Structure 1
């Protein structure tokens, strides 16, 4: 194998596939990046057997030459060293050549590295995904769906199914739900041309987080394909595979209250900042609990009390409060995460009592909601 490639293209592809390479894998060859070259261009692959990412660098793009391949072939190189080398090469072009016994020379300017490679034939094959049912989402919308739900997945392995985001596609509507059993994030969107497919799968939160880092903020369509145990996201020159989580996702619809006793309409930024300030003193037992009380004149009192540190009280003017008086305690972190996920200047919080889950929504938009369970304080 021998080719000359533009350094910036190679560095970007290496950065993308590195997101799937783990140093803790039990399969030694997976600590490497597979590099394959043919007349069409160069393909890089990284995998940890849960996530696999393939990045393709076309030989020519928009009349610009990216790669000149002299001899086709493939090799696996140690990811950690290869990625650092590529970053620090001195010139804009890189020449790579595989010699006998998988010895690989990387040249750029006056610098020459010689890495010992591994046989690419030993590298596991990527899953085969049938292209029967494909649906498409603009990349920027996909990133938004991930940002608005992924943060609420569980980080504990006691219930592995909750470490993923539940994607349900039915009648052309995609619903994404994440919960760690203390909070829940839900976002719906309609998908053009997806009226036939019907899916109910759980995608690991970690996979979606890595996918989001690779996707461009454009409205280019990303293709999504499911099999029994894999999902494939196809974006421009990128294939991103992830395994799906086994098991049934809990029915979360009964968690969401359909009535409320107290409704508060408030400016999101002001509300977020006051909770942020209250949380400065709310470090009790990692829960960082903040209290909220409704007051006369459409005011909210946000407070926090930590016996060893001190206390803070702040009043926030709302747009409107309706319903019963309320005193409730909740995790400041959960509330701030939820508010950051809602892209809105105004938010509506609906309470159903001091010990019942409450909802945070944007007025006039039922495609997104956040639910938080209160904290019992004595």
Structure 2
């Protein structure tokens, strides 16, 4: 295998696929990036078995020559070293040559580097997905939906189903839901999709979705999404992003987490609300807030302040509606400018 390639194109492709590399893999071959070279271009692949990312660099793009292939072939190169060394090479062109026993040589300007490659035949084959159900979503919308729900997933790995975001699609309405048992975030959007295409109870890892967000460009790129029985495929320009789907077990939706950052909220007769927190070590903080409108009976309620702050960070609206049905009933938060988002936080029972 021997080729010459533009460094910037190679570096961008490596940065994308490297998001699938796990530092804790027990399979040595998965600590590398697979490089496949043909006379059509270069394909890079990385995987940690849960997610796999593949990107293609064509020989030419917009009449610019990107890759010059002298001899096709394949090799798996150690990701940690490969990722770091490419972006530090001095020249805009990189020559890569693989010789016997997968000894790999990188040349750029006056720099000459030797790497020990691995046998590409040992690399796992990417999942085969039948593209029977394909939907197309605006990339900016998809990133917003992920941002407004993924924060509410659980960090407790003993209940893996809660570390993901639940997807449902019906009649062109796409809905994301996440919960860690103490709070819930929901976001819906109408998309252009065949009304016959629908799926329910598809759960995708929150970590995976956050990595996906980093790959989606900001220029209103359209993302094709293919949903199969146990895999979902995202197509973004020249990048293929595969993710395993969790099997949902509704019993897991009642898993427990124990962290608390308790804040108390009390409605006042003058139409304001009082928010307070106290600590046996630090003392007490009290804040009075004006409200635009208040209806209903007086209320005192305690909740996790972190959960409320997480919601406020992702609500893209100046004013919010906060609804209560009782001191031990869920707190409902909705933006006032649209009805596509819904957030729910469970209160805490306190002694006073």
Using the size of structure 2 for normalisation, the TM-score is 0.95
* Residue equivalent to 2:67: 67
* Residue equivalent to 1:244: 245
Report the Cα distance in structure 2 between the residues aligned to 1:194 and 1:375, rounded to whole angstroms. Answer: 43
* Residue equivalent to 1:190: 190
SS in 2 for 1:91: coil
Q: 1:251 to 1:74 in 2, by over 3 A?
A: closer
- Consecutive unaligned residues in structure 1, runs of 5 or more: 253-284
Matches within 5 A, 1:47-126: 47-126=47-126
* Residue equivalent to 2:262: 289
The answer to whether residue 326 in structure 2 is matched with residue 353 in structure 1 is yes
Matches within 5 A, 1:3-82: 3-82=3-82
CA deviation vs aligned residue, 1:91-115 (integer Å, no higher than 9, x gap): 1111101111100000111111110
How many equivalent residue pairs? 346
Report the CA distance between 1:87 and its aligned residue.
2.0
Report the Cα distance in structure 2 between the residues aligned to 1:195 and 1:248, rounded to whole angstroms. Answer: 27
CA deviation vs aligned residue, 1:58-90 (integer Å, no higher than 9, x gap): 222222222111211111001111111112111
* Residue equivalent to 1:222: 223
SS in 1 for 2:340: strand
* Residue equivalent to 1:321: 294
The answer to whether residue 247 in structure 2 is matched with residue 234 in structure 1 is no
* Residue equivalent to 1:139: 139
SS in 1 for 2:288: strand
Q: 1:298 to 1:63 in 2, by over 3 A?
A: farther
Report the CA distance between 1:158 and its aligned residue.
2.8
* Residue equivalent to 1:280: none
SS in 1 for 2:20: coil
CA deviation vs aligned residue, 1:347-367 (integer Å, no higher than 9, x gap): 000011111101000125221
Report the CA distance between 1:55 and its aligned residue.
1.3
The answer to whether residue 337 in structure 2 is matched with residue 368 in structure 1 is no
Report the CA distance between 1:244 and its aligned residue.
0.5
* Residue equivalent to 1:281: none
Structure 1's consecutive aligned runs of 4 or more residues displaced over 4 angstroms after TM superposition are 249-252
Report the Cα distance in structure 1 between the residues aligned to 2:264 and 2:108, rounded to whole angstroms. Answer: 60
**8 Å CA contact retained: 1:202, 1:249:** no
The answer to whether residue 300 in structure 2 is matched with residue 300 in structure 1 is no
* Residue equivalent to 2:282: 309
**8 Å CA contact retained: 2:133, 2:228:** no
Cα RMSD for the two superposed structures: 1.5
Report the CA distance between 1:248 and its aligned residue.
3.5
* Residue equivalent to 2:310: 337
Report the Cα distance in structure 2 between the residues aligned to 1:377 and 1:108, rounded to whole angstroms. Answer: 65
* Residue equivalent to 2:213: 212
- Consecutive unaligned residues in structure 2, runs of 5 or more: none
Report the Cα distance in structure 1 between the residues aligned to 2:235 and 2:268, rounded to whole angstroms. Answer: 52
SS in 2 for 1:148: helix
CA deviation vs aligned residue, 1:126-184 (integer Å, no higher than 9, x gap): 00111111100011111111101111111112322111111011111111100111000
**8 Å CA contact retained: 2:153, 2:179:** yes
**8 Å CA contact retained: 1:184, 1:372:** yes
Report the Cα distance in structure 1 between the residues aligned to 2:259 and 2:159, rounded to whole angstroms. Answer: 21
**8 Å CA contact retained: 1:162, 1:249:** no
Report the Cα distance in structure 2 between the residues aligned to 1:48 and 1:251, rounded to whole angstroms. Answer: 24
